[in-house]
């Protein structure tokens, strides 16, 4: 005969579960989020130099709570519902580098650090910014490659990297960003072929905006449509000028030599004629 089973413990009261859920929903995400934005700001501040004092109030005390609902007291920071969603630090003469910890501002939709003196690479960690729509890092001194990981930021509308010192190829993966409406990598040191999916977007989906040559000009070793074809032949302007000058010089030397030879020949002929003349002149007197 089976022993009678002990009665199961009574279930926890529902209100207790409810309170636990509420605490988790209200407090936990916000606490984590604040720490992420704080790490983002404090590390970015550490990696930047600020000779003009524009970031005077970017102080540790202000990082702990950078957002008060929709407002922020930090210069260049815009908030949305307690999280940083926009960083606009254009034209502030900032130096230093872009911290990879910017990727901890996970709600960021717009990152504008254009027209500064920033050097170093574009951190591939920016790929963690899954809401990023605008990336403007133009007119700095950024070097190294364009990280192909940027293609993970599926909402990217604007990639403006013009007037930097970026090198290497344009990653093919960027052609897969279907929301891209502005793409500018002009005036860098990029090389290789222009990705087909960036040059002709109808391969992805008909009606996507095209990027014309102005997006790509000013990169010595970049070639292919929509750039004019002459750059693709491996002959730089310098080589063409060199060949022109060289052949000009060669023909100058050749014609100079020819004139010299001609002069000598005619001189000799004249002398001979003169001699003959002398002789013929003298002849009758004999």
Ligand X SMILES: *[C@@H]1O[C@H](CO)[C@@H](O)[C@H](O)[C@H]1NC(C)=O
**Binding positions for ligand X, rule: CB under 6 A:** 36, 39, 57, 73, 75, 90-91, 100-101, 103-104, 114-115, 125, 136, 138, 158, 160, 182, 200, 202-203, 212, 214
For the CA atoms of 251, 256, 257, 258, the dihedral, rounded to the nearest 10 degrees, stands at 90
Q: How far is the CB of 9 from ligand X (least distance, A)?
A: 38
Report the residue number, 115 or 190, with the smaller CB distance to ligand X: 115
C-beta of 80 vs 212, nearer to ligand X: 212
For residue 150, the minimal CB distance to ligand X (Å) is 14
What is residue 279's three-state secondary structure?
Answer: helix
- Determine the Cα–Cα distance for residues 97 and 121; give it in Å rounded to an integer: 8
* Angstrom distance (rounded) from CA 225 to CA 182: 17
Cα 238 to chain centroid distance, Å, stands at 25
Nearest CB to ligand X, comparing residues 167 and 182: 182
Which CB atom, from 94 or from 258, has the smaller least distance to ligand X? 94
Q: Which residue bears the tokens 């990705």?
A: 195
Report the nearest approach of ligand X to the CB of residue 110 (Å). Answer: 10
Instruction: Give the nearer residue to ligand X in terms of CB position, either 163 or 190.
Output: 163
In eight-state DSSP terms, residue 187 is S
Q: Least Å distance between CB 215 and ligand X?
A: 7
From 212, 147, 148, 160, select the one nearest 187 (Cα to Cα): 160
In the sheet that 83-88 helps form, which strands lie side by side, from edge to edge?
Answer: 77-80, 83-88, 110-112, 134-136, 158-160, 182-184
H or E element that contains 45: helix 14-47
Instruction: Using the minimum distance from each CB to ligand X, give the nearer residue, 57 or 257.
Output: 57
Give the nearest distance from C-beta 60 to ligand X in angstroms.
Answer: 13
**Of 116 and 249, CB closest to ligand X:** 116
120 touches 147 (CB < 8 A): no
Cβ at position 157, least distance to ligand X in Å: 9
Contact partners, residue 3, CB within 8 Å, separation at least 6: none
- Using alpha carbons, select from 119, 61, 124 the residue that is nearest to residue 94: 119
Distance between CA atoms of residues 206 and 217, nearest Å: 25
CB of 206 to ligand X, least distance (A): 8
């Amino acid at each position: 005969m089976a022993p009678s089973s002990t009665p199961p413990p009574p279930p926890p009261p529902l209100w207790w579960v409810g309170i636990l859920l509420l605490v988790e929903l209200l407090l936990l995400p916000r606490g984590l989020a604040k720490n992420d934005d704080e790490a983002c700001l404090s590390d970015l501040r550490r990696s930047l130099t600020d000779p003009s004092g524009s970031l005077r109030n970017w102080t540790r005390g202000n990082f702990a709570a950078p957002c008060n609902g929709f407002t922020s007291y930090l210069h260049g920071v815009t908030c949305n519902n307690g999280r940083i969603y926009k960083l606009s630090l254009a034209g502030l003469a900032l130096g230093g580098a872009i911290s990879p910890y910017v990727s901890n501002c996970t709600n960021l939709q717009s990152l504008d650090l254009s027209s500064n003196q920033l050097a170093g690479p574009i951190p591939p960690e920016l790929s963690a910014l899954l809401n990023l729509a605008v990336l403007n890092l133009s007119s700095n001194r950024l070097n190294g490659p364009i990280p192909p990981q940027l293609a993970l930021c599926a909402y990217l509308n604007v990639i403006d990297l013009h007037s930097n010192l970026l090198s290497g190829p344009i990653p093919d993966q960027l052609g897969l960003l279907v929301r891209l409406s502005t793409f500018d990598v002009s005036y860098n040191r990029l090389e290789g072929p222009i990705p087909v999916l960036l040059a002709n977007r109808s391969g992805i989906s008909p009606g996507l905006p095209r990027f014309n040559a102005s997006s790509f000009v000013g990169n010595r070793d970049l070639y292919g449509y929509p750039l004019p074809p002459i750059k693709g032949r491996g002959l730089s302007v310098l080589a063409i000028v060199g060949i022109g000058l060289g052949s000009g010089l060669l023909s100058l030397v050749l014609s100079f030599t020819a004139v010299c030879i001609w002069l000598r020949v005619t001189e000799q002929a004249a002398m001979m004629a003169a001699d003959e003349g002398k002789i013929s002149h003298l002849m009758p007197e004999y």
